[in-house]
Structure 1
Amino acid sequence: MIKLANYTQGQWQEGTGPGTTLYDPVLGTALASVDAGGLDMAACYDWARTQGGTALRALSYAERAALLKQIGQVLQDNRDKYYDISLQNSGTVQNDTAVDVDGAIYTLSYYAKLGGKLPAHVHLEGESQGLARDNAFASQHIEVPARGVALLINAFNFPSWGLWEKAAPALLSGVPIVVKPASATAWLTHEMVKDVIEANILPAGALSIVCGRPEGLLDALNALDMVSFTGSADTAASLRGHRRIQHDGVRFNAETDSVNSALLGPDDSDAAADLLVREVVRELTIKSGQKCTAIRRIFVPESRYEAIAGAIAAKLKTITVGDPRKPEVRMGSLVSRQQHEAILAGIAQLSHHCEILFNGSTEITIQAEAGSACVAPMLFGAKDPDTNPLVHQVEVFGPVATLMPYRDTEHAFELVRRGMGSLVASVYSEDPQFMAQAAIRLAESHGRVHLVNTEVAKVQTGHGNAMPQSNHGGPGRAGGGEELGGLRALKFYHRTAAIQASPDILNRLIQNAE
């Protein structure tokens, strides 16, 4: 069994505690162990700030972008190895691994290209604004790299993409990172970090990794550091309550679970209905529904409820679930037995409040040995969503979704909003006026609104795919954070200041930024 050592202060260090074991979720075999006992987190952060941060800030944006390109190449060169690790540690089929591994490589490539076009060292935000008569004294906002360390706390479902979608804008900004992967699937994250460190691409201290649960993870941060978190809303609330964040002002970004929606328009389009059905099935099965952006609630006109239920069930019945080593299997397992038990508990909870429209446990034979973490997809129905608050509140983080009817457009928008903040809503219709209306009405409670008709059916990027060009995050329950979105992602790792001075000094500032 492999011991996943921690990399801090320029060296690999094994923990001094008993550690936590990582398992193959299908076969149940022990794969690796993580342990962060005895680590000096204050020394880890200090090394990152003084060594890594200083070296990164000495480079231009274009030079840091070149480092991202090199990292992407290292990951590409080791892609087959990462696919094998993902299969063993996450139980994913190849298509699901591609979303994680290839998605990470694409995101790094995107930020490498984006960074190559930035000014040398300083971002100017807008134009200067006069503060005195004849513009004799003016104000210019600038953004400069933060001089703290960025702690990246990642979730178990995307051990590759979850790391690099945070790391790319942080490193491009000139901020050193300390990576804290979820223990259950830390092997892939660890292997990628190890490969990048051994390639000697980044300055010493720019990249550290801590596996397991170290003492003082947040305690050792200072007021000018940053924490970017992906995970459950409960964990995010616990982190927000920590003194370093609540009192000292450590910058905190959270992307948490949400009950994302798919909405079929009222225009009776069979083509739009087919697109919705296809996307719902895809979102239920990709990574076994273990995506923070997965469709959890499906809203359709009352007149189409039965037909859509039947269409989704018919497609789900064709899905093969089980051991991803078997070529015929299209949907693998959950990442652990712990998640398996949590999903079954969530299914039981929804069963008490909803009708079962498709029961994968009876309709699909799981092609894996007993004791695996595989769960077949489930589709529930709630014919009266107005009096069933649970379906708008409970997210079962697996292959589970609930279908609900709406009376009219206003009712549909009101039901979608009951999620109280989500990462994404997708809308399927052939009515452009309805689509435009949906975009405006849903934008207030969603980080992304994904509009699909037959015109874009073959090129649309998918309800659940968080593209680096677009905002990823959401208000309210979704955590209130923002990630990606092109250059928007860099703002979290920069500090904004208003420079008030004479036009001559401001002009010199502008010249130095170019």
Structure 2
Amino acid sequence: MTELLKNYVAGHWVAGRGDGSLLTDPVTGEALVRVSSDGLDLDAAFRFARDEGAAALRALSYGARAALLGEVVKLLQSKRDDYYAIALANSGTTRNDSAVDIDGGIFTLSHYAKLGATLGDAQVLSDGAPVSLSKDQSFNTRHVLTPTHGLALFINAFNFPSWGLWEKAAPALLSGVPVIVKPATATAWLTQRMVADVVDAGILPPGALSVICGSAAGLLDRIEAFDVVSFTGSAQTAAQLRAHPAFVQRGARLNVEADSLNSAILAVDATPGTEAFDLFVKEVVREMTVKSGQKCTAIRRAFVPAPHLDAVAEALRARLAKITVGNPRNDTVRMGALVSRAQYDTVREGIATLAQEAELAFDGGQVPLIDADPALAACLAPHLFVQRRPEQAAHLHDVEVFGPVATLAPYDTSAGDERDAVALARRGQGSLVASVFSNDETRLARIALELAGTHGRVHTVAPSVAQSQTGHGNVMPMSLHGGPGRAGGGEELGGLRALAFYHRRTAIQGPSATVAATAEHAAPYAP
């Protein structure tokens, strides 16, 4: 029988009861490992993290905690080959796609280690200067940020088992808040191995980092008032979480990153033959194919000037035809598998839904797979739709197909600008990211501000940054990650802004000398 991965809780490695859930290779179907959380003493797990882990972390300064993060970075870098092997087997990703997750997670952790070092020996953050509350200036107020006296529970998605852990854990641990991570079952192996390596190295205090693999049942029941929960997944599951007593009655914090119908807009001036046009086409294809389109930030809707619709469609088809799909162990393969056969079936259902009101411009179903059995492997080539009446469409603005699928649609340019494209992008009811491509950098600024109110991030590209731009779907730790409305309403990363979720902001009032003394050993909160 395959190995049963253990959970790390209350300072011990513990195996769950029963056979658990089987993790398989999405290309070959091979059985890999099993996970189970049945029978765990969750009360002891949460109590140990909240008491032992939190106390040990809060006793350290930001600088000391940052140094620990730096040691974790060194450890993870030394074991990258092991992580790549797990990603290949369990996620079916090419080496380049695995790097997005593995190296991206390590880079994010490294960034917070460096940020934390700038905070030095402080254990408190000072938010702004003192403000007088009296005419004679004798009675003042100042806002401070102190680490929350609880733990952080992460309920993560299947697509980023490394980055999804470290982009959340880095600011939490730097803040002095212990972490319990519940990775998505399908790809829990990589998360579990990374936690195991860190635990075995003894870098973090006991209780600072725990992992529970398997069912999430009972986890929210243990959440208390000063705990925080971060969830990445579907809007439907997020709605169920929001109704839990942990948040409704006990007032715990919840950060959600949910479904997102992200957009890319080709500006009016970016006509065929210009560099911005070519950059747009290249980016849409990249976002459709990186990690087989299994990114919460991937481009799902591409809006182009109506006169250029056919030209864009032809350019996209030409590029998509060059994408080789199949077993990532074959060096000629550029795009590997979806995470599982179940996800493959879900994506196929989404494709069928979009086909009800859009025409298929590139049919990945006709693309032969390389070294993969189509009856067994979760491999699916890109599918590009064209929706010629986006203002009348329903599925285009409501159905996110979490795979290598995107829809191309025209926008009205009769006004000579992109106002119709902005209106169509807003039909997504709140998105993580929108990108805009133009040869005119001033035009980009105007469109970005118009999109800002309904998007967590606006990524603008002109020819001058063709080589330096970081990519529509690439989440950088310096920039905000999250989005309003349908995207969940949450915020992550954004430099030191990420620390706010793990701190409590308090107004301290008193004599001017008292208020001044509260900041003597504080670092300024200047995100």
Give me the TM-score of the superposition, normalised by structure 2. 0.96
Partner of 1:198: 200
CA contact (8 A) 1:264 1:299 kept: yes
Partner of 1:170: 172
Which of 476, 484, 490 is the aligned partner of 1:481? Answer: 490
1:441 alignment partner AA: E
1:224 alignment partner AA: F
C-alpha change, 1:492 and 1:327, in structure 2 (3 Å) is same
Cα deviation, 1:335-358, whole Å, max 9, x if unaligned, reads 001100000000011111101111
Cα deviation, 1:47-77, whole Å, max 9, x if unaligned, reads 0011000000000000000000111111100
CA contact (8 A) 1:5 1:14 kept: yes
CA contact (8 A) 1:425 1:449 kept: yes
Partner of 2:372: 368
1:13 alignment partner AA: V
Which of 383, 401, 406 is the aligned partner of 1:396? Answer: 401
Partner of 1:133: 135
C-alpha separation between the residues in 2 aligned to 1:74 and 1:513?
30
Shift of 1:367: 3.9
Is 2:499 the counterpart of 1:495? Answer: no
3-state SS of 2:478 partner: coil
- Which aligned pairs between 1:109-124 and structure 2 lie closer than 5 A? 109-119=110-120, 120-124=122-126
3-state SS of 1:162 partner: helix
CA contact (8 A) 2:351 2:401 kept: yes
Shift of 1:361: 1.1
Shift of 1:39: 1.1
3-state SS of 1:325 partner: coil
1:440 alignment partner AA: L
3-state SS of 1:97 partner: helix
3-state SS of 1:3 partner: strand
2:444 alignment partner AA: M
Partner of 1:294: 298
Is 2:448 the counterpart of 1:446? Answer: no
Shift of 1:223: 1.2
C-alpha separation between the residues in 2 aligned to 1:272 and 1:373?
34
Partner of 1:320: 324
Partner of 1:108: 109
- Which aligned pairs between 1:262-273 and structure 2 lie closer than 5 A? 262-269=264-271, 270-273=274-277
Is 2:25 the counterpart of 1:21? Answer: no
Cα deviation, 1:34-53, whole Å, max 9, x if unaligned, reads 10001121211110011000
Give me the TM-score of the superposition, normalised by structure 1. 0.99
2:59 alignment partner AA: A
Larger displacement relative to structure 2 (13-22 or 197-206) = 13-22
3-state SS of 2:38 partner: coil
Larger displacement relative to structure 2 (503-512 or 92-101) = 503-512
2:229 alignment partner AA: V
C-alpha separation between the residues in 2 aligned to 1:40 and 1:234?
28
Partner of 1:351: 355
Cα deviation, 1:427-450, whole Å, max 9, x if unaligned, reads 000122321111111000000000
C-alpha separation between the residues in 2 aligned to 1:132 and 1:365?
74
Cα deviation, 1:381-422, whole Å, max 9, x if unaligned, reads 000001112101100000000000001221111001100100
Shift of 1:480: 0.2
2:429 alignment partner AA: M
3-state SS of 1:326 partner: coil
3-state SS of 2:60 partner: coil
CA contact (8 A) 2:317 2:361 kept: yes
CA contact (8 A) 1:37 1:215 kept: no
* Structure 2, unaligned runs of 5 or more: none
3-state SS of 1:386 partner: coil
C-alpha separation between the residues in 2 aligned to 1:215 and 1:47?
19
Cα deviation, 1:206-262, whole Å, max 9, x if unaligned, reads 011000015411101111111011111111111111111122111000011200000
C-alpha separation between the residues in 1 aligned to 2:370 and 2:405?
16
3-state SS of 1:36 partner: coil
* Structure 1, unaligned runs of 5 or more: none
C-alpha change, 1:364 and 1:297, in structure 2 (3 Å) is farther
Partner of 2:243: 241
Larger displacement relative to structure 2 (206-215 or 86-95) = 206-215
Is 2:193 the counterpart of 1:188? Answer: no
Partner of 2:257: 255
C-alpha separation between the residues in 2 aligned to 1:479 and 1:322?
33
Partner of 1:93: 94
1:457 alignment partner AA: A
Partner of 1:337: 341
C-alpha change, 1:41 and 1:278, in structure 2 (3 Å) is same
1:506 alignment partner AA: V
- Which aligned pairs between 1:419-430 and structure 2 lie closer than 5 A? 419-430=428-439
3-state SS of 1:345 partner: helix
Shift of 1:364: 4.4
C-alpha change, 1:234 and 1:465, in structure 2 (3 Å) is same
C-alpha separation between the residues in 1 aligned to 2:292 and 2:249?
39
Shift of 1:131: 0.5
1:465 alignment partner AA: N
1:38 alignment partner AA: G
Partner of 1:377: 382
CA RMSD of aligned residues (A): 0.9
Cα deviation, 1:250-277, whole Å, max 9, x if unaligned, reads 1000011200000000014421110010
Partner of 2:3: 2
Larger displacement relative to structure 2 (10-19 or 395-404) = 10-19
Instruction: Provide the identity percentage.
Output: 56
Partner of 2:391: 386
Larger displacement relative to structure 2 (125-134 or 420-429) = 125-134
CA contact (8 A) 2:360 2:386 kept: yes
3-state SS of 2:153 partner: strand
- Which aligned pairs between 1:72-87 and structure 2 lie closer than 5 A? 72-87=73-88
CA contact (8 A) 1:317 1:364 kept: no
1:317 alignment partner AA: A
Shift of 1:363: 4.0
Residue correspondences, number: 514
Larger displacement relative to structure 2 (178-187 or 112-121) = 112-121
Which of 126, 145, 152 is the aligned partner of 1:150? Answer: 152
CA contact (8 A) 2:131 2:140 kept: yes
2:269 alignment partner AA: D
Partner of 2:480: 471
Shift of 1:286: 0.4
3-state SS of 2:463 partner: coil
C-alpha separation between the residues in 1 aligned to 2:513 and 2:443?
52
C-alpha separation between the residues in 2 aligned to 1:197 and 1:434?
50
C-alpha separation between the residues in 2 aligned to 1:233 and 1:495?
27
3-state SS of 1:394 partner: coil
